[in-house]
Amino acid sequence: MGKQPSNVPRESPLPRAFYLRPTVEVARGLLGKVLVHDAADGLAAGRIVEVEAYLGEQDPASHAYRGPRGRAEVMFRRGGIASVYFTYGMHFCMNVVCERAGAGGAVLLRAIEPLAGLDLMRRRRGREGLRDLGSGPGKLAQALAIARPENGLDLLGSRLRVLDGPPPAAIDVSERIGIKTATDWPLRFTERGSAFVSRRARGAGEA
């Protein structure tokens, strides 16, 4: 395990009950929280500034739409674990599984503000700029070394955890990015004014 940087609070992770709520509530609640991964090559952490909610079997944009099969199986487990999938042949993305077992709700982590382990993240990313470390779902997964082995990991564990943190002063709501169905569902949440979000809302909805 990596050494503990002094600026990561040694708090206990958010309780299970935080995740056993409606997915949209968990999504909004995750903004400002701190994701920590204590990996073999060191510890890194970032403050969550952008998320998207995916609503399970009734959401055509969700991998869970076709039921608990294949890569979506983990999304149907009890909330409070990570669901990691591989896409575009080269990127990993991380979901936070929500609600009770069988619900299939999940929150895609889309951007973090780097907090700890900055040099480690730079090495993993091959990029220097702070903004390039976590401003996108594939980027943050790479910066935090989240990949296949982390699929299904408990977020209340020692390797991977989510700590409390100051919520944003204001939250913007917009349409989800990179999908082709249910594109008008307002399920993307970003910290207003953050320089670390992946991109601006497409024209619409600063609400």
Partner DNA sequence: TGCCTGATTGCCT
Partner DNA sequence: GGCAATCAGGCAA
Q: Which is nearer to DNA, 43 or 111 (CB)?
A: 111
The least distance separating DNA from the CB of residue 123, rounded to whole angstroms, comes to: 13
CB 59 within 8 A of CB 122: no
Of 51, 50, 56, the C-alpha closest to 75 is 56
Q: Which is nearer to DNA, 52 or 191 (CB)?
A: 52
CB 102 within 8 A of CB 36: no
Report how far residue 128's alpha carbon sits from residue 9's, in angstroms, rounded to the nearest whole number.
Answer: 25
Q: Return the residue of 10, 129, 180, 203 that touches DNA, per CB under 7 A.
A: 180
Position 178 contacts DNA (CB under 7 A): yes
Position 136 contacts DNA (CB under 7 A): yes
Helices marked H in 81-162? 118-125, 131-134, 137-143
Report how far residue 151's alpha carbon sits from residue 125's, in angstroms, rounded to the nearest whole number.
Answer: 20
- Interaction mask 27-56, DNA, x per CB under 7 A: -------------------------x-x--
Position 20 contacts DNA (CB under 7 A): no
Please identify, among the stretches 32-40, 42-50, 136-144, 163-171, the one whose residues bind DNA according to the rule CB under 7 A: 136-144
Q: Which is nearer to DNA, 127 or 159 (CB)?
A: 127
Report how far residue 175's alpha carbon sits from residue 182's, in angstroms, rounded to the nearest whole number.
Answer: 9
For residue 6, give the H/E element and its range: none
Position 70 contacts DNA (CB under 7 A): yes
Dihedral pair phi/psi, residue 116, rounded to 5°: -145, 150
Residues that bind DNA (CB under 7 A): 52, 54, 61-64, 66, 69-72, 75, 85-91, 93, 95, 106, 108, 125, 127, 132, 136-139, 176-180, 198
